[in-house]
Structure 1
């Protein structure tokens, strides 16, 4: 199984390519009309399933759309340095340059951030046990 890149964000399209080959001679096998690709969340629950047919070369190529509503699937580990990635999009779905501040539940500033390119960026902080965080963002537009 191959994908077009190693990491994805909600709302992106994951392009896939699979090859069925004989384990002994590595020659293509045409035993199946379809390959089923399944995407699971960290809790083992099925999130997406795609049925992919082979092309004329015997390769199975297709995609899975990752809905905007899919959770990011990661955890913040209390007491450890955590790197949090983000992508800001405008109503038309294109990346939007933003900046913002992360606050804890007492409204204390934890860290600041800004997008680096096409609305994507990251920030680093050390989360506290049992603490909740939220971000306040602003675009560069008036």
Structure 2
């Protein structure tokens, strides 16, 4: 009997269930971790896209948790900060949360200089994940006639958030990522664009399907960083 293997010989392949068992275990462990330590997110809707000195900024918001973005009952208060373009704190609020909802306002001093400002919102629970998870909204402050045109400000008025299906992305595993684009009035708005890696390769396409919402699949790889390049209806873009 010959010891040589046939030319068309193929080694036996482990059943798919065996090959996927390690991935399944990792996915289950990740989901259990996400469920046991849910991530909170804060969203604020401001009454105007830009303001003048002496104006009052009125805003309302909601606090969600987990990959399904359900209203959160973890935190009883949300901290909201008003900062200038050098990240210097100007005013701070601690607002109670009821049924995942909150509301508040900032009275702008009449002597504030015309410049770019931003509002930051977070909970103490969110501090565990770092400032990348904080809410941030940029706006311009200026006297009437000095504020930039609506087309120039549109990229500041739309908030785009990304939501990995399991709560976070894992290197080497393709995951579904949902996204939502909301304008300053809290209404979903159409956006498009791409997700690119640090070598400028397109790894996913962004296109809203309904009410500013959509999704895409991507597989993050070790050593890579990713950026969303989002295009708005007036052809302005934001990274």
Normalising by the smaller structure, the TM-score range is 0.5 to 0.7
Is 1:133 aligned with 2:160?
Answer: no
In 2: Cα distance, 1:65 partner to 1:101 partner: 32
Q: Check the 8 A contact 1:10/1:69 in 2, yes or no.
A: yes
User: What stretches of structure 1 move > 4 A for 4+ residues in a row?
Assistant: 70-73
Q: Could you say if the C-alpha distance between residues 113 and 126 of structure 1 is closer, same or farther in structure 2, counting changes exceeding 3 Å?
A: same
SS in 2 for 1:63: coil
Report 1:54-69 matches (<5 A): 63-65=99-101, 69=135
Instruction: Give me the whole-angstrom Cα distance separating, in 1, the residues matched to 2:209 and 2:42.
Output: 18
More helix by percentage: 2
How far is the alpha carbon of 1:116 from its aligned partner? 1.1
SS at match of 2:135: coil
- Rounded to whole Å, the distance in 2 between the matches of 1:49 and 1:130 is 38
> Could you give the per-residue CA deviations for residues 86-105 of structure 1, whole angstroms, max 9, x where no partner exists?
11112332211111100001
CA RMSD of aligned residues (A): 3.2
Between structure 1 and structure 2, the one with the greater Rg is 2
| Contact 2:41 2:135 (8 Å CA) reproduced | no
Partners of 1:91 and 1:105 in 2: how far apart?
30
Counterpart for residue 94 of structure 1? 187
* Aligned pair partner of 1:82 in 165, 175, 179: 175
Contact 1:105 1:133 in 2 (8 A): yes
**Deviation of residue 9 (structure 1)?**
6.8
What is the CA distance between 1:10 and its match in structure 2?
Answer: 4.6
**How far does residue 130 in structure 1 lie from its aligned partner after superposition?**
2.8
1:38 to 1:14, Cα distance in 2 relative to 1, 3 A: closer
**Cα 1:92–1:120 shift into 2, 3 Å:** same
How many angstroms apart in 1 are the aligned matches of 2:41 and 2:209? 15
| TM-score normalised per structure 1 | 0.54
Structure 1 segments unaligned to the other structure (5+ residues)? 1-7, 16-36, 40-47, 51-61
Distance 1:81 1:109 in 2: 15
| 8 Å Cα contact 2:177-2:215 kept in structure 1 | yes
Tell me the equivalent position of 1:107. 200
Q: Which has the higher contact order (CA 8 A, sep 6+)?
A: 1
Work out the CA distance in 1 between the residues paired with 2:202 and 2:233. 20
Equivalence for 1:49: 76
